[in-house]
Amino acid sequence: MPQADAGNLRVLERRAAARGIAIRSVTLQPGDPLPAADLYQVAGAADEDLPELARRLAAGGTLAAAVAGGAVLLAIDAGLQVAGRTFRDPDGGEHEGLGLLNVRSSLGPFVDGPVVGTPAFAPGLPELAGFESHSGRSILGPDAVPFAYLEVGTGNGGEPATDGAVAGRVLGTYVHGPLLAWNPALADHLLGMLLGAPLAPLADEPGFAAAVRARRMAEARATLEKRRR
């Protein structure tokens, strides 16, 4: 798992602890069996390793059963691709995904840069910001809901510009950052999904969080402008 994506777990731990909520995160190594959990994050794999990642996640049916039982899945980049119906390897071979999202993914030119967008799955969440670094391209099924509509970035690679997909408690996106450090309201949304109720803002918000987000989004837009010149 990329270090930035591992940071998502730290954000969840700290924002939960600030509210007196105790959670424990576990980072698995290749070959480790999936434990029962309330929230899973799947992120980070080379394109050629996608089939093996899908095989490991499907083994034993633990993840599918957990999601069916109400667990939350945050699937980032490689996680988004394998969580869908099908995906392709670098040689063009098509593989079955986990079927948790109505998405079919392929590979295209590598993209690397800032992302700014509006969440499509949860009205009221503030604008999202982060970075993408991927070759994946995803086509959503007719009943699929995007993770976000993009102002900046490639995301799924189609028109209109969207990123990722969401189905119930399964959230798929190409956005790194780490995603939850850049977007604390999204972290709280995930915690609220686990607890079954929205969370009130922390005492240092919205002022501090708004200032951090404004700076980071300005950085993202500035990076894009530099690349356009």
Q: Which pLDDT score, from 0 to 100, does residue 1 have?
A: 44
pTM of this prediction exceeds 0.85: yes
CATH number, domain of 151, equals 3.40.50.880
Helix (H) or strand (E) holding 90: none
Q: Which pLDDT score, from 0 to 100, does residue 229 have?
A: 66
What mean pLDDT value characterizes the chain?
90
Which range of 7-11, 68-72, 203-207, 224-228 scores highest in mean pLDDT? It is 68-72
Find the mean pLDDT for residues 57-82. 96
Full residue range of the structural domain in which residue 46 is found: 3-228
Q: Please name which of 154, 131, 135 lies closest in space to residue 217, comparing C-alpha atoms.
A: 131
Residue 108: how many other CB atoms lie within 10 Å? 12
Do the Cβ atoms of 143 and 190 come closer than 8 Å?
no
Q: Which pLDDT score, from 0 to 100, does residue 207 have?
A: 54
Q: Which pLDDT score, from 0 to 100, does residue 200 have?
A: 87
Model confidence at 219, in pLDDT bands (50, 70, 90)? Answer: confident
Q: Which pLDDT score, from 0 to 100, does residue 216 have?
A: 67
Instruction: Kindly report, residue by residue over 151-209, the tens digit of the pLDDT.
Output: 989 999 999 999 999 999 999 999 998 899 889 899 999 999 999 999 988 876 555 55
Model confidence at 5, in pLDDT bands (50, 70, 90)? Answer: confident
How much of the chain, in percent, has pLDDT values that exceed 70?
Answer: 91
Domain count within the chain: 1
Instruction: Kindly report, residue by residue over 100-142, the tens digit of the pLDDT.
Output: 999 999 999 999 988 999 999 998 898 898 999 999 999 999 8
Do the Cβ atoms of 175 and 1 come closer than 8 Å?
no
Q: Which pLDDT score, from 0 to 100, does residue 206 have?
A: 53
Cα 21 from Cα 214, distance rounded (Å): 28
Do the Cβ atoms of 42 and 73 come closer than 8 Å?
yes
